[in-house]
């Protein structure tokens, strides 16, 4: 029997496992890097052990340190979560050899499914449908398009779409190089590419008494081959196809005598009503909550039961007659900027509130909103790890109700401090393509991301929000006066000239021009009149429509929430320190990270868009390019250097300026 369990992971998955452990009366142990020392998952655990360092390679990927932490904390079991060491067969063996209980599948199962090439051969032998394999010598024009994929790893790395046979050999070489860099294994394979396929996966639980199948999930809404929205059950599947998917997943698990929770992933071709095996993830999935919701199970508790050797005869007997209850949808809330190619964001979350959350984990069968989060108000999103803030899940009687409720909860969420994909998620949940279940894995590839990520009020929300922010700040100042407190906010002796309050939105200035006194009116928003004003809420009426805007002030940050959506500002200081100014043409680090490559030198003549250097942050690479034709006049960054956000990496002087100086 497990008495004290260590989770070899961080963030929301560690908190998720801890919740089940508390329900079962199992004590918990967290391991944490220095960067994570103050994070909620560390505080949630009964015992915490420090792993010195910050990067995953120094900490969470060090199996020896994790096992030593378990020994120090007197843990008798290790749960790997997902990511990091969760599908590392060598680590699983080391855990068992250390006398600890491994809450996961047998290492041999991890190895068998760890290679996409070998696992496909194994599945084909088991009668599971698979896509064919090709080489530059065997592929023909009739097989196009093709997909080059890395055998190890995922997340879109080592993956290339090929539409011309002439390009196949080169794309194989490039994909192999990328896979070697990302996973330490350059093995790739080639298979047919299904243009408008759907990603369908089946949840299995292998036990000594048989394999349980907990239905399927649709994970077709993806960006960069990474999932954005998941739901269960998968909508629009013919019942015979659904049953065949379940049977194929069960056959896949039984082919390797699988134990514990796992997911068998398939590519579904709606045009042909056919599906093909992609891979098996020998661990718990990020999106497991939607399955828990509709089947009324706790998958972590079942993982622990299997690891402890409990009989699940009753569960196996009941599963054949169990149908999903209602519909569940999950979104992944990320600190990223979808309008700028999903650029990851870092910084402090000043406020994080989602209305209607039943609790962090009310139970798998409860209807309502569930939040699985690794962070909260005041916590930092750093640059060492994935930028996911939380998973928000809604379970409702119908799919239509689930989509509406989840979109509404996200739209009313208060998420301040950095840019997120919140508005993108709201718009996707309300998009006719998704509502009608016509989505596919490449749906977002050619989408207008700026439009999809827009707030409900669009750019029209900015001047209204700026007006409300200016009035609220004026009211705040009035209430803080030690003298003359009866003078109205925004009062001026020269009544003909408006007040001006200047904000920054990104790098752009937003100027609110308004008249104060006994009433407030805006110069920039035609017909806008304030009917109620306070330091934290302002009601503005425009053309007979009244709208209350709530204003939150945190240092120099001002966030405005209303039915127009969220708009965030920074107050522009009246006086700027000259030492903080940067020269024209300066290329700044968009976020903290490390410089991994420099491809220019001082004196080089460069063209607009030419790569100057490459940074790595949050497991992604970011190219810093020349903003225009010119000459590199300064280059302060070097490969391997750690830089802070806003640091000047290089300076490119425009060609015109250089020519003018020579003249």
CATH of the domain at 275: 3.30.470.20
Same domain, 91 and 203: no
Same domain, 356 and 498: no
Neighbours of 73 (CB within 10 A): 19
Q: How far apart are CA 118 and CA 134, in angstroms?
A: 14
Indicate whether 56 belongs to any domain: yes
Q: Identify which of 309, 262, 276, 306 has the alpha carbon closest to the alpha carbon of residue 87.
A: 262
- Residue 613 sits in a domain whose CATH number is 2.40.50.100
Count Cβ neighbours within 10 Å for each residue of 457-477 and write b for 16 or more, e otherwise. beeebbbbbbbbbbbbbbbee
Question: Looking at the 3D structure of the chain, how many domains does it have?
Answer: 5
Same domain, 486 and 388: no
What's the token pair of residue 220?
């077709």
Phi/psi of residue 644, nearest 5 degrees: -90, 160
Indicate whether 449 belongs to any domain: no
Same domain, 207 and 173: no
Same domain, 610 and 629: yes
Q: Are the C-beta atoms of residues 19 and 79 closer than 8 Å to each other?
A: no
Name the β-bridge partners of 29. Answer: 6, 47
Indicate whether 120 belongs to any domain: no
Last residue of a domain, one of 414, 444, 474: 444
Q: How far apart are CA 242 and CA 458, in angstroms?
A: 40
Last residue of a domain, one of 540, 571, 602: 571
Strand order in the sheet with 642-643: 620-625, 611-617, 593-598, 642-643
Indicate whether 127 belongs to any domain: no
Phi/psi of residue 200, nearest 5 degrees: -120, 130
Q: Identify which of 653, 616, 649 has the alpha carbon closest to the alpha carbon of residue 635.
A: 649
Q: How far apart are CA 513 and CA 260, in angstroms?
A: 63
Residue tagged 């909260």 (tokens): 376
Q: How far apart are CA 647 and CA 39, in angstroms?
A: 26
User: Which ranges constitute the DSSP H helices of 366-483?
Assistant: 399-411, 422-429, 432-435, 449-452, 461-479
Indicate whether 211 belongs to any domain: yes
Domain that holds residue 507: 459-571
> What's the confidence (pLDDT) of residue 135?
78
Q: How far is CA 343 from the centre of its chain?
A: 11
What's the token pair of residue 309?
């050797």
> What's the confidence (pLDDT) of residue 647?
84
Q: Are the C-beta atoms of residues 515 and 528 closer than 8 Å to each other?
A: no
Q: Identify which of 539, 534, 559, 535 has the alpha carbon closest to the alpha carbon of residue 549.
A: 539
Same domain, 541 and 612: no
- Decide: pTM greater than 0.75: yes
Last residue of a domain, one of 55, 84, 103: 103
Q: How far apart are CA 650 and CA 586, in angstroms?
A: 6
What's the token pair of residue 57?
């390679």
Indicate whether 251 belongs to any domain: yes
Cis peptide before 369 (omega within 30 of 0): no
Query: What is the radius of gyration, based on Cα positions, of the chain?
Result: 27
Indicate whether 119 belongs to any domain: no
47 CB-contact burial (10 Å; exposed 0-12 / middle 13-18 / buried 19+): middle
> What's the confidence (pLDDT) of residue 501?
95
Strands 101-102 and 77-79: parallel
Same domain, 318 and 260: yes
Same domain, 149 and 271: no
Same domain, 394 and 280: yes
Same domain, 375 and 427: yes
Indicate whether 358 belongs to any domain: yes
Same domain, 402 and 375: yes
- Residue 476 sits in a domain whose CATH number is 3.30.700
What's the token pair of residue 389?
């803030």
pLDDT digits (tens, 9 = 90+) for 580-600: 556 677 888 877 778 888 988
- Residue 147 sits in a domain whose CATH number is 3.30.1490.20
- Residue 36 sits in a domain whose CATH number is 3.40.50.20
> What's the confidence (pLDDT) of residue 390?
96
Strands 146-150 and 47-50: unpaired
Same domain, 227 and 358: yes
Counting as low any pLDDT under 50, the low residues of the chain are 361, 658, 663
Rounded to 10°, the helix 116-125/239-255 angle is 110
| DSSP single-letter state for residue 641 | -
Q: Are the C-beta atoms of residues 171 and 160 closer than 8 Å to each other?
A: yes
């Amino acid at each position: 029997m497990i008495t004290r369990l260590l989770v070899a992971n961080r963030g929301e998955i560690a908190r998720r496992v801890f919740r089940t452990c508390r329900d079962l009366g199992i004590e918990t142990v967290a391991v944490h890097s220095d960067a994570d020392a103050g994070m909620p998952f560390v505080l949630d655990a009964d015992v915490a052990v420090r792993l010195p360092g910050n990067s995953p390679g120094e900490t969470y990927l060090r199996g020896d340190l994790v096992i030593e932490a378990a020994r120090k904390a007197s843990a008798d079991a290790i749960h790997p979560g997902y990511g990091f060491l969760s599908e590392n067969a060598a680590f699983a063996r080391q855990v068992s050899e250390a006398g600890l209980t491994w809450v996961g599948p047998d290492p041999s199962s991890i190895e068998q499914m760890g290679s996409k090439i070998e696992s496909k051969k194994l599945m084909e032998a088991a009668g599971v449908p698979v896509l064919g394999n090709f080489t530059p010598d065997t592929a023909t024009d009739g097989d196009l398009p093709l997909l080059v994929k890395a055998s190890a790893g995922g997340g879109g790395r080592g993956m290339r779409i090929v539409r011309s046979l002439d390009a196949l050999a080169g794309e194989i070489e490039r994909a192999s190089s990328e896979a070697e860099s990302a996973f330490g294994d350059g093995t790739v394979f080639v298979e047919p590419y299904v243009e408008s396929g759907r990603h369908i996966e089946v949840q299995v639980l292998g036990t000594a008494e048989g394999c349980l199948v907990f239905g399927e999930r649709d994970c077709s809404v993806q960006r960069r081959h990474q999932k954005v929205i998941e739901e269960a059950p998968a909508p629009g599947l013919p019942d015979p196809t659904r049953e065949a998917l379940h049977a194929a997943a069960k056959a896949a698990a039984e082919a390797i005598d699988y134990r514990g929770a796992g997911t068998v992933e398939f590519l579904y071709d709606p045009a042909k009503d056919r599906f093909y095996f992609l891979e098996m993830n020998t661990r718990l999935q990020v999106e497991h909550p939607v399955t828990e919701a509709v089947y009324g199970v706790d998958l972590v508790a079942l993982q622990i039961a299997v690891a402890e050797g409990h009989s699940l005869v009753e569960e196996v007997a009941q599963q054949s007659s169990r149908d999903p209850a209602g519909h569940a949808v999950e979104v992944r809330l990320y600190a990223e900027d979808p309008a700028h190619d999903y650029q990851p964001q870092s910084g402090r979350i000043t406020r994080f509130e989602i209305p209607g959350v039943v609790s962090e984990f009310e139970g798998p069968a409860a209807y309502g909103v569930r939040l699985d989060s690794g962070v909260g108000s005041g916590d930092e999103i750093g640059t060492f790890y994935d930028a996911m803030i939380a998973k928000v899940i809604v379970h409702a009687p119908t799919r239509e109700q689930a989509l509406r409720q989840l979109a509404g909860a996200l739209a009313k969420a208060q998420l301040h401090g950095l840019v997120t994909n919140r508005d993108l998620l709201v718009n996707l949940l309300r998009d006719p393509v998704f509502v009608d279940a016509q989505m596919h894995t490449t749906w977002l590839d050619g989408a207008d991301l700026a439009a999809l990520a827009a707030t409900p009020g669009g750019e029209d929300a900015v001047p209204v929000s700026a007006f409300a922010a200016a009035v609220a700040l004026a009211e705040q100042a009035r209430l803080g006066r030690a003298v003359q407190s009866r003078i109205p906010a925004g009062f001026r002796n020269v009544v003909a000239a408006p007040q001006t309050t200047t904000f920054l939105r990104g790098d752009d200035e937003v100027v609110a021009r308004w008249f104060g006194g006994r009433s407030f009116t805006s110069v920039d928003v035609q017909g806008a009149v304030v009917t109620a004003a306070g330091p934290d809420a302002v009601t503005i009426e425009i053309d007979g429509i009244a709208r209350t805007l709530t204003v939150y002030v945190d240092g120099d940050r001002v966030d405005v929430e209303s039915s127009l959506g969220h708009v965030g500002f920074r107050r522009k200081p009246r006086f700027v320190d000259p030492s903080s100014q940067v020269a024209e043409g300066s290329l700044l680090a968009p976020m903290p990270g490390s410089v991994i490559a420099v491809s220019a030198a001082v004196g080089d003549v460069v063209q607009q868009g030419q790569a100057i250097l490459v940074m790595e942050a949050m497991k992604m690479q970011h190219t810093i390019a020349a903003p225009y034709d010119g000459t590199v006049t300064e280059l302060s960054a070097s490969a391997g250097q750690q830089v802070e956000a806003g640091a000047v990496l290089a300076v490119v002087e425009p060609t015109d300026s250089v020519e003018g100086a020579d003249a």
